[in-house]
Amino acid sequence: MDDLSPETLRALRRMTVEADKLIEGCVRDRLSLATLMARFLPALERWIGVKGAVVTTRNEHLVEQTFTYGEWTLLGGADLHAEEEGRAVVVGSGTSMWMKLSVAGSEVGRLMVLLPGDRRADEGELRLLLAALCDALDVVLATVHTAAAKQRL
């Protein structure tokens, strides 16, 4: 995917601005990670058309927690490690893809989405959009994990 269409660039810009505003509001209001995810994951449907999504990461107590949205149960608890990162894989009547969440170069979780239909032809564009969403989540997770680590001291 060497050349991005103007439509893709506009969608990427709109999505990242909206994601940043959503996250900024949650951080400003000191909302829990669960509340942030309850707002962020449904927005994925509007931004990239997901039918379902799951995020697994450490929460404010540095305990692994899973946050889900939508038709995630259709995947039957799919293994987030089964496929190569950023690869579009057909699952039933949809397509799944996952990406790492990282803080300071260390993996702190994963985001996996379920999209309607066979989207393998859109793999490069989907990877770009998911990477931008993961970057937005990485920023908030860095804050949450740093604060939790300080509380433990």
**pLDDT, tens only, 30-56:** 999 999 999 999 999 999 999 999 999
Least confident segment among 10-14, 46-50, 72-76: 72-76
- Residue recorded with tokens 């496929």: 83
pLDDT (0 to 100) of residue 103: 83
d(CA 81, CA 95): 16
Q: How many other β-carbons are positioned within 10 Å of the β-carbon of residue 148?
A: 16
pLDDT (0 to 100) of residue 149: 66
Residues 148 and 60: beta-carbon distance below 8 Å: yes
pLDDT (0 to 100) of residue 5: 85
Residue 150 has pLDDT above 90, yes or no: no
d(CA 135, CA 148): 20
pTM of the model: 0.85
Q: What is the pLDDT of residues 99-123, one digit of tens each?
A: 999 888 888 889 999 999 999 999 9
